[in-house]
Amino acid sequence: MNVILLRFGELYLKGHNRNYFESTLIKNIKSMLEGEEFKLEMTFGRYVISNYAQERQGKIIEKLKKVFGLYSLSPAVEVDAEVETIKSEVVKIDCKNKSFKVFVKRADKSFPISSMDFAKDLGELILDNNENSSVDLYNPQCEIHVDIRMNHKAYIFDKIIKCQGGLPLGCSGKGLLLLSGGIDSPVAGYLMAKRGMELEALHFHSYPYTSEQAKDKVVKLASLLTSYTGDIRLHVVSFTRVQEEIHKRCRPEFMITIMRRIMMRVAERICEKYNLGAIVTGESLGQVASQTMQSMTVTGSVVKEKPIFRPCIVMDKEDIIEISRDINTYDTSILPYEDCCTVFLPKNPVIKPTIKQAENEEQYIDVKSLVDECLEKEELIQIKREQ
């Protein structure tokens, strides 16, 4: 029987809470494969997908590769764990003109032959049935795996396909991603989802200084993220008046600092309103003026009750770009539609502000009124998972 063998990663480290993590993972697998015909079973440390249409196998594998918590998978053949039955299946594998190595894992110790001896027997069988084949224990062209499990079944496969790893989505609460439209913030959302965090997103737009295409770009980015994160609720907040007030009443070099402090206040209010546990940003230390240690200290100081997660904080830009390419957000992120952070951009923004300096600037604007106005004009967009 053709099956897909699934392996999980960190879950085996979990103690008394392991059942919770596993049940969350199973729920996510079923959600990801919604609309597909299949059967999912757990058997002694493995998940097995079976009873699916063979022509759908490739599509099912692509979906499973995006499930956080799965470490790897293999298209496999399931047979009874009997010596001759396994041999009759292994001999079908084509290793002609190739080097190969046989791996046998014998979780079922009642199997009558040791792993090493059975691997040797299978190797001899492959050599006898494949012209110009050879054994290479160090760099084989073909790897043949026989996984003998405690359910008295054996799984035979020649591919191990890497999955996302991490923790099952939803086991680490829900956070609010500040989604700008650039390269970094979608990557930050992906990385937090990989650690099990469900996401909602918050975008600030400054129409007419920024275009409707800029907003559409962010909707597209959120939509691309859903293939990993599941459905996302996008909170869109008008930031035009905030920026006009700051530009009119505060010193130009503090424009970005004050703007980001108000963004953080709005974000925390939205977290409180919708019961979200954290704020997530795409900040990377030293990348721009607003991401120095001093700037992040000043902007973060207005958040009183929620943690701020910055998963890109130690990453080089090239590393962030590489992930954005992998998750298919890069091409959308670089579309030439500017976000609100580019509006009224000062020539020489302060890079080492203090909290006292920021508070002095804020006395010239009505911060509470501006935050309240942002929340009054909040637009909610429900974005469904891309299939």
Give yes or no for residue 340 having a pLDDT over 70: no
φ, ψ of residue 286 in degrees (nearest 5): 80, 0
Angle between helices 240-249 and 367-376 (to 10 degrees): 160
pLDDT averaged over every residue in the chain: 93
φ, ψ of residue 143 in degrees (nearest 5): -110, 125
Model's pTM, two decimal places? 0.92
Q: How far apart are CA 228 and CA 224, in angstroms?
A: 8
Answer for the pair 265, 237: CB distance below 8 angstroms, yes or no. no
Answer for the pair 153, 56: CB distance below 8 angstroms, yes or no. no
Q: How far apart are CA 300 and CA 241, in angstroms?
A: 22
Q: How far apart are CA 30 and CA 180, in angstroms?
A: 31
Answer for the pair 332, 185: CB distance below 8 angstroms, yes or no. no
Give yes or no for residue 146 having a pLDDT over 70: yes
Percent of the chain with pLDDT strictly greater than 90: 84
Answer for the pair 285, 314: CB distance below 8 angstroms, yes or no. yes
Give yes or no for residue 337 having a pLDDT over 80: no
Homologous superfamily (CATH) of 174-383 is: HUPs (3.40.50.620)
Using 50, 70 and 90 to split pLDDT, how confident is the model at 343? low
Burial 151-170 (b: 16+ CB within 10 A, else e): eebbbbbbeeeebbebbbbb
pLDDT in tens, 282-307: 999 988 878 899 999 999 999 999 99
Q: Does domain 2-162 have CATH number 3.30.2130.30?
A: yes
If you average pLDDT over residues 29-52, what whole number do you get?
Answer: 91
Burial class of residue 137, CB neighbours in 10 A (0-12, 13-18, 19+): exposed
What does the domain layout of the chain look like in residue ranges?
2-162, 174-383
